Amino acid sequence: MNYKAVGNILGKVLLAEAALLLLPLAAAVVFRESVLPYLYTMLLLLLLGGGLNALKPASSHLFAREGFVCVGLSWVLMSAFGALPFVFSGDIPNYADALFETVSGFTTTGASILPNPELLSRGCMFWRLFTHWVGGMGVLVFIAAILPVSGDHYIHIMRAEVPGPTVSKLVPRVRKTARILYLIYFGLTLMECLLLMLGKMCFYEALLHSFATAGTGGFSTRAESIGAFHSAYIEMVIACFMLLFGCNFNLFYLILLGQGAAAARSEELHVYLGVIAVSVAVIAANIARLCGGGLPALRYAFFQVMTVLSTTGFSTCDFDAWPELSRWVLVLLMFIGGCAGSTGGGMKVSRIILLTKSYFAELKRMIHPTQVKRIWFENRPVGEQTVMSVHVFFFVYLLATGLGALVLSLDGKDLTTNLTASIACISNVGPGLSLVGPTGNYAFFSVPSKLVLCFEMLLGRLEIFPMLFLLTPSVWRKR
Amino acid sequence: MKIVIAGAGKMGMAAARQLCREGHDLTLIDQRQDRVDSAVNSMDVIGCCGSCAAPETLKEAAAGHSDLFIAATGSDEANLIACQLARKMGARHAVSLLRNPAYIQSAELLKETMHLSFSLHPDYVTAEEISRVLQFPAAIRVESFPDCEMEIVTFKIEENSKLTGVPLHKLWTKFGQKILICCVEREDAVQIPRGDFVLRTGDRISVTGLPGALRRFFKAAGSYKKPVRNVILLGGSRSAVHLTRLLESTGVDVTIIEQNSARCQALAELLKDTSIHCADGTNTAVLQEYGISRADGFVALTGFDEDNIILGLYAGKAGVGKVISKVNNTKFEELLRDIFPDTTLSPQELVAERISGYVRGLDHASEKSTIEALYYLGDRRVAATEFIVGAKAACTGTALKDLPISGGVLLASVIRGGKSFLPDGQTVLQPGDRVIVVSANRTIVELDEILSASGKSV
């Protein structure tokens, strides 16, 4: 383990976070609030980050192990410090609550312990929604884009932070890849902000909701989330952008290169759109009578399907009150999540495709034991290793969800609450069903339960392994 | 620059490492997924698995949009087809590695018909380098520059050499020759020495000067060795054939020892007058029998690094004046330098150097300066670069002593109107001059970089 090199990267992460805090600080200045909470946090970040950044590693070699540890630790530290402004400003005086809110922000979960977020100071509100934007594309990718890091081994860090079963660069250089990703991200966010302003949303709220959509987070400035705006236009704009941010960003790059046809051939995209179409149809039919007509049913169904599948977690209505069938469809969608290489959470559409295909391949192999068949995905054969790691991922994902719910059950709430809270957190969705449904929140959980949920959110965002490595003793050995 | 390299074998990887370090955007193509993976995991490049002679693969690697396509697979034919396809798809330049001697003879014709920018012959490049070192046996390496009479010679200061204890500013008066010491490797550090620097036994120094002056300097310093006349080559590889031809054309006696009898037959067909022996060269009795005690040069060119190193050491002990061993695996270079007193050469590093020199020429033809050639002196931490001074260069028009030339950089020679001379404080650079710049621990890509501390670290 190359501790100094890892420390050096962590230092850069903390310094970057200090720089990012300038934005809520500016918001606080604009709204004439106290800037001290941000200044104190920045000071702490600069001290620790500067110290770590000064570490001069003997060799800058980062292998897969260091990559995972870097990413896991970065996210833990970032959340630990990111919670401080809430505490210092007195908006969320309890540190465990503030930590939960911050982890939920950075991991783009959107699960909240606030009964009424409208009571927050404006600066804290800005920071709370901005964490979604930072966490969506990932802070280590951000660092690769702006700071001169050696690109030779940074791919291990990229792999650990960018979601998906296989991660590859768009262009040869890590740095250029990171820049392209952030440019696409920034461009789409800006576009959404403008479209929301056309729907008579004020600039401040349009910007914050764009942050929350871009990261597929789900925090809102309003207690009733997007439902508070009572505007079909705003709902459709947000739903469409949730769909876009749930797509693989490589596709946008292909479109930018003028290879839209190649992007349209993506197998993952087809399945993603198929899942959306089927779920919307089923739910709309199921809730048509409840909503009083086909059109409103479609509107609510589309928004809720997008918010759950992209793992954003906005709401326009109380889907917890919907019929059982619709509720279950939504829970299943939580597991699937967005596409690989998107800002969404969940298991990712591509993994579900690979799992399904390997199920059929296994069936065939049992009937014709001598037959040799490879699994194909996106027009190329998939390596055995990749399939194997998808299987392991699937198992650990379910295991973590189950164990998480087990710990939550100690608080004595009902099964639906515990199970959906666990799923909604590990899949980075936010709202679940029953007590943690769209109208409820996570405030009632005990502190240990909240910490378990925090861990689950990080597990989900970083796709299990970086967080598990932090708990594996052999990883920490010197060599 | 966007560069696509086909073939992630030894040659391809060495070139890729070098070019990646110099900041180019690389895409590597290889048929083996494991090679692609290991390349992508250790360098900032993207990989693409497939045959380089297949249009789909080239398309996936965006070879058509590349500035340079380098074909470095083990197959000449695949290299040529890949280059031709890449050029057809729109690659601006294409370079192919060729091993088959038949293709080397028709290199010019191939270049024209296959639309290559140039073809590189690793075996020939190696042979050329070895023969250059054999001409100047006191040196570990000899570098010459195109259109320049100056040479840069690297050698080690032996015990009881007259150079030991001499400060550099006294060299000219003591030895009476106009030469310049442009870099010194002492223990693990590399530096560009100043006038008060004192030489020590064990230093590896690189000296610039005209060949005659260098020879006289070596004689005066007591380090001169006569050019070799009688060479034993171990291993009858393709580079051995090239080397034999080069050496025999200058009147050197060559003995080849090769184990494989079929190969020996083929060698005897290719080389009419050479004495070729079919025997196991790793057997010391065989070496004795074929005259290792009489030879003044020994070149180990077998396919095994270990054999080459051990036999090189043995030949040195047996009293052979100049020993050269081919070492493919350069990862242990530092370790080797401690135990191996003489020259080691790595074909893929030589090839990587040629390619990167060419790329620099393509990349940095600006109004300020143009790179003509680039060499590394022994160790990769010291680079010697030849520039043509451009019309807009900032370092023209002022005497060198008045220019803020940064540390770790030295102007080793200036060529003006076909004449080479060593620059001094009064020298004023003019547009059109060629200058050779030696830099330690960084590579200079633009002549004006000698004025500031903004080089790229090597």
DSSP string, B402-458: GS-PPTTEEEEEEEETTEEE---TT-B--TT-EEEEEEESEE--SGGGGGSS-PEE-
The encoded tokens of residue B423 equal 């620059």
In this complex, do B46 and A383 lie within 8 Å of one another by their Cβ atoms? no
The reply to whether residue A151 touches residue B42, judged by beta carbons under 8 angstroms, is no
- Sheet (strand B369-376) strand order: B369-376, B382-389, B434-440, B409-416, B419-421
pLDDT per residue over A17-37, tens digit each? 999 999 999 999 999 999 999
3-class DSSP string for chain A: CCHHHHHHHHHHHHHHHHHHCHHHHHHHHHCCCCCHHHHHHHHHHHHHHHHHHCCCCCCCCCCHHHHHHHHHHHHHHHHHHHCHHHHHCCCCCCHHHHHHHHHHHHCCCCCCCCCCHHHCCHHHHHHHHHHHHHHHHCHHHHHHHHCCCCCCCHHHHHHHHCCCCCCCCCCCCHHHHHHHHHHHHHHHHHHHHHHHHHCCCCHHHHHHHHHHHHCCCCCCCCCCHHHHHCCHHHHHHHHHHHHHHCCCHHHHHHHHCCCHHHHHCCHHHHHHHHHHHHHHHHHHHHHHHHHCCHHHHHHHHHHHHHHHHCCCCCCCCCHHHCCHHHHHHHHHHHHHCCCCCCCCCCCCHHHHHHHHHHHHHHHHHHHCCCCCCCCEECCEECCHHHHHHHHHHHHHHHHHHHHHHHHHHHHCCCHHHHHHHHHHHHCCCCCCCHHHCCCCCCCCCCHHHHHHHHHHHHHHHCCCHHHHHHCCHHHHCCC
Q: DSSP assignment, residue B152?
A: E
Window 23-62 of B: residues touching A by CB (8 A cutoff) are: 25-27, 33, 40-46
Q: Which pLDDT score is estimated for B457?
A: 37
Looking at the complex, report in whole angstroms how far the Cα of residue B33 sits from the nearest Cα belonging to chain A.
10
Asked if A414 reaches chain B (Cβ–Cβ under 8 Å), the answer is no
For chain A, say whether B318 makes contact (Cβ under 8 Å).
no
Q: Which residues of B touch A154 (CB under 8 A)?
A: 44
Residues of B in Cβ contact (< 8 Å) with A151:
44
**CA pair distance A130, A121, nearest whole angstrom:** 14
| Confidence at residue B455, expressed as pLDDT on a 0 to 100 scale | 38
User: Do the Cβ atoms of B41 and A176 come within 8 Å?
Assistant: no
pLDDT for residue A401 is more than 90: yes
Pairing of strands B409-416, B419-421: antiparallel
Distance from CA of A88 to the nearest CA of B (A): 42
Query: Are B22 and B359 a contacting pair, CB within 8 Å?
Result: yes
Check residue B146 and give its pLDDT.
Answer: 65
Is the separation of the CB atoms in A306 and A239 below 8 Å? yes
pLDDT > 70: what percent of chain A?
99
Q: What are phi and psi of B73, to 5 degrees?
A: -80, 175
Q: Which residue of B has its CA nearest to A159?
A: B41
Position B150 scores a pLDDT of: 80
Cβ count near B377 (within 10 Å): 24
A253 touching B (Cβ < 8 Å): no
User: What's the gap in Å between the CA of A388 and the closest CA on chain B?
Assistant: 17
Interface contact flag, B44 A154, Cβ < 8 Å: yes
- Cα–Cα distance, A333 to A327 (Å, whole number): 10
Whether A155 and chain B come into contact, CB under 8 Å, resolves to yes
Closest residue in B to A173 (Cα) is: B44
Is A174 within 8 Å of chain B by CB? yes
Q: Calculate how close chain A gets to B339, using CA atoms only, in Å.
A: 25
Over its length of 458 residues, how does chain B's per-residue pLDDT go in tens digits?
899 999 999 999 999 998 998 889 999 999 999 999 899 888 889 999 999 999 999 998 999 999 999 999 999 999 999 999 999 999 999 999 999 888 888 888 888 888 888 889 999 999 988 988 888 787 887 877 766 778 888 888 877 778 888 888 888 788 878 888 888 888 778 888 877 888 888 888 888 888 888 888 888 777 777 788 899 999 999 999 999 999 998 889 999 999 999 999 999 999 988 999 999 988 888 888 888 888 889 999 998 989 999 999 999 888 888 899 999 887 777 788 778 777 888 899 889 888 888 887 777 665 566 677 777 775 667 778 888 888 777 788 888 888 887 777 888 888 888 788 888 888 888 888 888 888 877 767 777 777 764 433 33
Question: Across chain A, what does the average pLDDT equal?
Answer: 92
| Contact residues, chain B, for A173 at CB < 8 Å | 25, 44
Q: Does A57 touch chain B (CB under 8 A)?
A: no
- CA A226 to each of CA A221, A223, A231, A235, A236: distance values in angstroms, whole numbers, following the listed order: 9, 9, 9, 7, 11
Cα-Cα-Cα-Cα torsion A235, A239, A241, A242, nearest 10 degrees, comes to 130
Question: Across residues A326-342, what is the average pLDDT?
Answer: 94
Tell me what pLDDT residue A127 has: 95
A172·B26 Cβ contact <8 A: yes
Mutate to test the interface with A, among B20, B27, B43, B46 (most CBs of A within 10 A): B46
Return the ∠ at Cα A392 (arms to A388 and A396), rounded to 5°: 170
CB contact under 8 A, B43 and A174: no
Q: Is it the case that residue A197 has pLDDT exceeding 60?
A: yes
Query: Which of A457 and B195 is assigned the larger pLDDT?
Result: A457
DSSP letter (8 states) at residue B176: -
pLDDT of residue B93: 92
Query: Mean pLDDT over residues A217-223, rounded?
Result: 91
Chain A residues inside the 8 Å CB shell of B26: 172
Size of interface A-B (CB pairs under 8 A): 30
Closest CA of chain B from A138, distance in Å: 19
* pLDDT class of A248 with cuts at 50, 70, 90: very high
Of residues A150, A173, A383, nearest to B25 (C-beta): A173
Return the higher-pLDDT residue of A242 and B411: A242
pLDDT of amino acid A479: 58
Nearest to A174 among B26, B41, B44 (CB): B44
Set of chain A residues whose Cβ sits within 8 Å of the Cβ of B41: 64, 153, 155-156
Q: In angstroms, what separates the C-alpha of B39 from chain A's closest C-alpha?
A: 10
Flag if B44 and A171 touch (Cβ within 8 Å).
no
Kindly tell me if the per-residue pLDDT of A47 is higher than 50: yes
Q: Does residue A152 belong to the interface with chain B, where contact is any CB pair within 8 Å?
A: yes
Nearest to B44 among A151, A168, A383 (CB): A151
Q: Say whether B44 and A152 touch across the interface (CB within 8 A).
A: yes
